[in-house]
Amino acid sequence: MCPKRARGSALMIALFVIVVMGGLAAALGRLLGDSSEKYTVEVRGLRALMAAQGALETGLYRLYPNGHWQGQVCEPLTLTLPSDAAGLVDCRAYLSCDVITAEHNGRTLKGWRLIGTGECGDEGGGASPDFAVSRSVMAEAFDSD
């Protein structure tokens, strides 16, 4: 084989290897970035669920303060989360409450539908607004009298 005919082939092979390695590095970087985003959403989702459950439990306690219905009125509520609750930083909790009725054994029972909603993350304009998450939980409670 003549050296003049083979001149430049090593350069083409090196360029090909560099392009392939660069593509693999970019794909791996994107994969790691996606994994980080999923982890952030999962953590904020769990925090939002805990805030929603806290709102729901607060509403149930307001209706049944000592384990027995005290004739309280259920009202919507925006909870102020404690500033030292490190796990709920950047979270908000809301409680909605509606009066409902149900039939049981021929009797009409008065009850309440409580919906606790927790929101975590910046809703807009922040560093990562696409990571704002919300979770809701619902419970129904009835007066046995």
Domain count, the chain: 1
d(CA 15, CA 25): 15
Domain region containing 114: 3-142
Q: What residues contact residue 98 under an 8 Å CB cut-off, 6+ apart? A: 112, 113
Residues 33-58 have pLDDT tens digits of: 777 778 888 888 999 999 999 999 98
Q: What percent of the chain has pLDDT over 70?
A: 85
Listed residue (82, 107, 96, 105) closest to 139, CA to CA:
96
Task: Render 103-125 in DSSP notation, one character per residue.
Answer: EETTEEEEEEEEEEEEEES--SS
Confidence band (pLDDT; 50, 70, 90) for 6?
low
Phi and psi for 8 in degrees, rounded to 5? 95, -10
Residues 94-123 have pLDDT tens digits of: 999 988 888 888 888 888 899 999 998 876
